[in-house]
Amino acid sequence: MTSKMPASYSIVVESKTSAVTDVFQQIQAKLVEHNFGKDDIFAVHLTLEEAFLNAVKHGNKLDPSKKVKVDYSIDAEKVEISITDQGPGFRPENVEDPRLGENLFKPGGRGLLLMNSYMDMVKFNEQGNSVSMVRYKEKPYLTKNPDS
């Protein structure tokens, strides 16, 4: 029986919102390779967009001299993504619930809610400038072929 170590990758990109496109394309290719379905890919795409935008705007404050680091690993069961910015960090517990009261009519503040909704685990480091997210494959691809 062959055992595969989860493939891990690390990318450092410019702190601009358009940089997430290439990052997602790389991750998407690996998700397809590991038989993740459309729902999983949609979820990863959405959360990556939201987390990356937070890193560029709220973390690095649109400072073009700063970078965003994306680490990810994918195996047959799950995808793990960490996004780290060079900002001072924030406290996620201080973010108001966008579904309540007047917040429902505010243009922003929904990214964290979507990340928490589409990922199975979302965790920030103590400083609050790095978020790690895990999503388990929606319908595990069951096979008796150890080589697949």
Partner 1 sequence: MATIQPNIAVEYAENATIVSFTDEKILEEKDIYSLQESIMSVIEQAERINLILDFGNVKFLSSAVLGLLIRVSKRIYERDGHLRLCNIDPKIYEIFKITRLTKTFDIYKNVESATKDLS
Residue recorded with tokens 């493939």: 7
C-beta of 49 vs 79, nearer to partner 1? 49
C-beta of 42 vs 127, nearer to partner 1? 42
**Cα 7 to Cα 27, 32, 33, 75, distances in angstroms:** 11, 14, 11, 7
**Cα 128 to Cα 24, 27, 30, 59, distances in angstroms:** 23, 24, 28, 9
Give me the residues that bind partner 1 (CB under 8 A), please. Answer: 17-18, 21, 39, 42, 45-46, 49-50, 53, 98-99, 104-108, 110-111, 113-114, 117
Task: State the minimum distance, in angstroms, from the CB of residue 17 to partner 1.
Answer: 5
C-beta of 13 vs 76, nearer to partner 1? 13
| 3-state percent breakdown (helix, strand, coil) of the chain, nearest 5 | 35, 25, 40
Residue recorded with tokens 């685990």: 121
Contacts of 136 by beta carbon, 8 Å cutoff, 6+ apart: 77, 78, 120
Task: State the minimum distance, in angstroms, from the CB of residue 18 to partner 1.
Answer: 6
Task: State the minimum distance, in angstroms, from the CB of residue 105 to partner 1.
Answer: 6
Task: State the minimum distance, in angstroms, from the CB of residue 60 to partner 1.
Answer: 14
C-beta of 7 vs 62, nearer to partner 1? 62
